[in-house]
Amino acid sequence: MKKTITITFCIVIALVLAGAPIGLSQEDFSADLLIEELNRAENLINSGEISQALDSLLGVRSILDSKIKELSKAAGTETDLGPSGSRVKIGYVNAKEAFTVFTQAVEEERKSAKEKSEELISLREEVLKGEISESDYKRQRDVLQAERLKAQLEIDIAMLDKMLQAEGFESVSGRLFDIKEQVGPIVDELEKVLEDIREGTAVPEEVSQTLSQIRRQYDQLDNLLTSLIEKKIFQITNLRAEEEGYDLVLRQENVVLYRNSDKIDDLTEMTKKALREEIGSK
């Protein structure tokens, strides 16, 4: 053990003295403090106080690490380096922005759902102005809510079809088929509700209860589909990042608060391009 400390002592002294040729004084480099701490560590080990000795050595290491960073900065070489001395390549991806590749692929279906939402707002304004009766408002509201819900389900169906046709989703095709099979009965039930409302045979309380139930089912399926899409986004990002030689890729949301654009790369567009290729979207 004493032999090990002596060797360590010699190495550190060599590092201290190596600072002299580049204009560092002993005071600048805290050489006296280093020697004092090393002597203290050696004495502690000789007396069997190993834990306290390690604390002293860690203090020495901290001083050296700090000085090395200062020297690197002064030399203009302050970079994140890997074990081999090469620059660590870091990037990040905005998952929400990458997700727009999928929403844009079903833009027509999304327009239909948006139109129904706008019609609901207009209908509400009409009843507030007294232009329609409360009973007419409720009946038309139920129809529009059901039609909007149907349009939202059609968005998911269109997305499922695109994903099932894409080779890149073969690994999750079984789960995609399961989701699509669950959507079918929900759409059928919704169609029946719409028919009853239009014919005037629907009971308002039952309509409200049925639509709420269908909404919950839709939310569950939509969340599951969204989860699968997010996994695909991260999978694509990882593959492309590995091909480009990246060492670390972060998710921007809730992780990246600040980045130096000269050192940290935005991989979002690269990911979006790869996703478009996967689902055959322009």
Spell out the per-residue pLDDT of the chain, length 282, in tens: 444 444 444 444 444 444 434 334 444 445 566 667 777 767 776 777 766 766 666 666 666 666 666 655 655 544 455 555 567 888 989 999 999 999 999 999 999 999 999 999 999 999 999 999 998 998 899 999 999 999 999 999 999 999 998 888 888 888 999 999 999 899 999 999 999 988 888 888 888 899 999 999 999 999 999 999 999 999 999 999 999 999 988 888 777 767 777 788 999 999 999 999 888 765
Could you tell me if 94 and 252 are in contact, meaning their C-beta atoms sit under 8 angstroms apart? yes
The secondary structure element, H or E, covering residue 265 is strand 264-266
Final residue before a domain boundary, out of 74, 105, 128: 74
**Residue of 18, 19, 38, 37 lying closest to 28 (CA atoms):** 19
190 falls within a domain:
yes
Structure confidence at residue 237 (pLDDT) = 92
Alpha carbon 247 to its chain's center: 17
Whether residues 175 and 147 fall in one domain:
yes
Indicate if 226 and 110 belong to the same structural domain. Answer: yes
Boundary of a domain, candidates 74, 105, 126: 74
What is the amino acid identity at position 1?
A: M
User: Where in the sequence is the domain holding 38, given as residue range(s)?
Assistant: 2-74
Residues 156 and 197 both lie in one domain: yes
| End-of-domain residue from the set 74, 101, 118 | 74
Residues 161, 262 within the same domain: yes
pLDDT at residue 63 in the model: 65
- If asked whether residues 64 and 149 sit together in one domain, one would say no
- Shared domain for 60 and 126, answered yes or no, is no
Integer Rg of the chain from CA: 33
Residues 49 and 158 in one domain: no
Length of the chain: 282
User: 83 in a domain, yes or no?
Assistant: no
Q: Could you give the number of structural domains in the chain?
A: 2
